[in-house]
Structure formats: structure tokens, C-alpha cells
Amino acid sequence: MKTAVIYYSYEGNCALIAELIKDALGADLIELQTVDDKKRQGISKYFWGGRQVIMKKTPPLKPYTLNTEAYDLIIIGTPVWAASPAPALNTFLEEQRISNKRIALFCCHAGGKGKVFDKIKSKLPGNTFAGEIDFINPAKQRREEISDKLNEWLRQQGLMPRL
Ligand SMILES: Cc1cc2nc3c(=O)[nH]c(=O)nc-3n(C[C@H](O)[C@H](O)[C@H](O)COP(=O)(O)O)c2cc1C
């Protein structure tokens, strides 16, 4: 089974989960990066990001290579911004129009994921969903605990390859 992990990460948490999935499944990683890659700090980060969500912005992405036909499973990951997927993910979903795929979702958040998975799924009609998992700021947790939680989920969903 060939798996792609498509993710956006502003501060490294979703990037960590993507790497752990790569370790577990041998997946290809496709990182979505916005053309505007300036890092905001402190409270202005939340105003800047929250405003993009409210305004339904689709910030331009840097070029990436993806042939969805090459994959049996696509895992999509995003940080939660204002109880929504990060705007970069909206750009991706508008650009790609993925259909007839098996898709799993993950998100990273600080304790309030809202209806982020429903919001993503509503933009991916015509696909089958293989499961979803969320993490609270995993880069601040013990790596083994995060890895165990992830691997247990992959096993439960039948996504882990048999030895
Ligand atoms: C603009 C912005 C908005 C956020 N909104 C939420 C939120 O609504 N709920 C929440 O639990 N965390 C929120 N967070 C925290 C992030 O979702 C969390 O730190 C996540 O682990 C970051 O993932 P990343 O490191 O891959 O970017 C927000 C962070 C930013 C920058």
C-alpha cells in the first residue's frame, strides 16, 4: 500500500506527526508551504492567522509535486486555526479536487479542535474516510507517547502494513 502524507505545519507539530507516519508506514511526505513564510510571534500571530480563517483566505502555496493516482491512501494533516483547518489546507483542497481516494485525517491543536475534521471532509466529497486522530501540541509531549498513540491508531484503522 502506497501512502502519501500531505500536511501543513506552521510551528512543527504537524511536521512531527508526518515524520512519525513516515517512520511507521514508509509514506511519502508532501509539505504544503505558503509563499508568505514569515513567522509571526505572540498575539499578532493569532490575529494574523485568525483573520485569514475568518476571511476564508487561500494563501498561495510554494510549488509541490503530487500525483494522487500513485497512492492507495492519502493522509492529510493540519494545525487547528480558529477551530478550522489552516488556510494553506484550503488552498490545497481548492487546487487539487481529490476524489475516489481513501483518506485519513490528523490535526494538531492546543486543546480545542472544534469541528475541524467535518470542515475538511465537507471539502472532499466523493472520497472514503479511513479514520481521524488529533494531538495536543505533540512537539511538547514525550515522543514515545505520541509515537505509541499514533501507531496504535494506525493499527486500529488497519493502516499499518503486516510484517
Ligand atoms: C493562528 C492560530 C490559531 C489557532 N487556533 C487554535 C484553535 O482554535 N484551537 C486550538 O486548540 N489551537 C489553536 N491554535 C494552536 C495550534 O493549533 C497548535 O499549537 C498546533 O499544535 C500547531 O501545529 P503546527 O505546529 O503544526 O503549526 C492556533 C494557532 C495559531 C497560530
* 163 pLDDT more than 70: no
pTM of the model: 0.97
Q: Is 107 in the pocket of ligand 1 (CB under 6 A)?
A: no
Kindly state which CATH superfamily the domain 3-156 is placed in. Answer: Flavodoxin domain (3.40.50.360)
Q: For residue 49, how far is the Cα from the chain centroid?
A: 16
What is the average pLDDT score of the chain? 96
Residue nearest to atom 6 of ligand 1 (CA): 81
Q: Give the three cell numbers for residue 81.
A: 486555526
The answer, yes or no, to whether any atom of ligand 1 lies below 6 A from the CB of 8, is no
Tell me what the mean pLDDT of segment 59-63 comes to. Answer: 98
CA of 151 to the centre of ligand 1 (A): 23
pLDDT in the model for residue 3 = 97
| Cα→Cα distances 48→24, 41, 89, Å | 35, 10, 16
> What are the residue ranges spanned by the domains of the chain?
3-156
Q: Is the pLDDT of residue 124 over 70?
A: yes
pLDDT score recorded for residue 161 = 76
Whether 83 shows a pLDDT value over 90: the answer reads yes
d(CA 104, CA 117): 10
Do residues 88 and 34 lie in contact, with contact meaning Cβ atoms separated by under 8 Å?
yes
Q: What is the CA radius of gyration of the chain?
A: 15
